[in-house]
Every structure is written in C-alpha cells, then in structure tokens.
Amino acid sequence: MKEKKPNQALILVMLCLLAGTLDALAAMLISYKVSPGIIFRFIASGWFGKAAFTGGNSMVLWGLFFHYIIASCWGIAWFLLYPTAIKIFRNKYVTGVIYGLVTWIIMNQVVLRLSNIPHSNKPVNLVNLAEGIAALIFCIGIPAALIANRYYSKVRR
C-alpha cells in the first residue's frame, strides 16, 4: 500500500501556529513580571510606535497578529530552506540551533532597529540575551527543523 504524500500547506499552517504559540508562551514566561497585554503592545509598537501603549485592546490584538506573522515568516523560511541547510549542517538539531541563532541576529540587529519600538540605552544583560536566543532556538528553530526533516523524509520516499 502506498503511503499518502504529506500536505505541505497544512504542515506549514501547523508549523506557523506552533512556532507562534511557543514563542508567545516563551515571551510571557521570560517576562512573567509584565502582563501579556504589555508584551503584545510592545510588539505592536514596532508598527504603531508609542501609540501602541496608549491604544486600547486593539493594540494587544495587533501585537498578537504581528507576533504570529513574524513567527510564521521565520517558520516558513526555515522549512523551505531545510533541504539546503541539512546538506550544510548534516544534523537536524544543529540546523535548528543555527536557525534560532540566525533568527535572533536578524530580528535584533536588523528588524527591531528598523521598527518603531522604544529603544533602550541600557547595557546588554547576558541573562536576557541568553533567554531571547534560547527562546528562538527552542520555539522556532528546532521545531521548524524537526517538522521539515519529517516532511522532507516522507517526500523523498
């Protein structure tokens, strides 16, 4: 009996939901002293600037929307790049770690700097740095690599 070919679109939707949810949970755990509303207003401020902090619940929803869009873009990109990445890194877990590191670097050194979020002049806190990198490794990088590995293994059969 032939095995059914996996539905790539459905797998991508599930990956986007998983990555967005895991990363949102990680943000809330890391920032447990701050309400989720403030976290998502902060994300919304990337687009709306300071107005995100004075807006109502719609800003929380915008932040949640932007959060899922960003996580989805990373998840889809890493999923699609997986066949090339696995040839370079040779291990799905190493690939996931690299994905998380690259995601952190691009988000923090490019995307956030170009956004309207309030910027801080505080020195870098190594604990916060490690938490942010670990969150992206375990919430986006590794899930994307594992899901892609499973999908592409089945497609090759």
DSSP label at residue 122: P
Has residue 75 got a pLDDT over 60? Answer: yes
- The whole-model pTM stands at 0.92
DSSP label at residue 29: H
In a domain, 24, yes or no: yes
In a domain, 3, yes or no: no
- Nearest in space to 111 (alpha carbons), one of 120, 122, 103, 101: 103
Residues 6-31, mean pLDDT to the nearest whole number:
96
- Nearest in space to 46 (alpha carbons), one of 66, 26, 18: 66
Dist CA 63 CA 115 (whole Å): 13
On whether the CB atoms of residues 52 and 39 are closer than 8 A, the answer is no
Please, how many CA atoms are within 13 Å of residue 12, restricted to the half-sphere of its CB? 14
pLDDT tens track for 94-130: 999 999 999 999 999 999 999 999 888 888 899 999 9
In a domain, 122, yes or no: yes
In a domain, 2, yes or no: no
pLDDT tens track for 21-52: 999 999 999 999 999 999 999 999 999 999 99
Q: How many separate domains does the chain show? A: 1
**Domain with 112 in it:** 8-152
In a domain, 82, yes or no: yes
In a domain, 1, yes or no: no
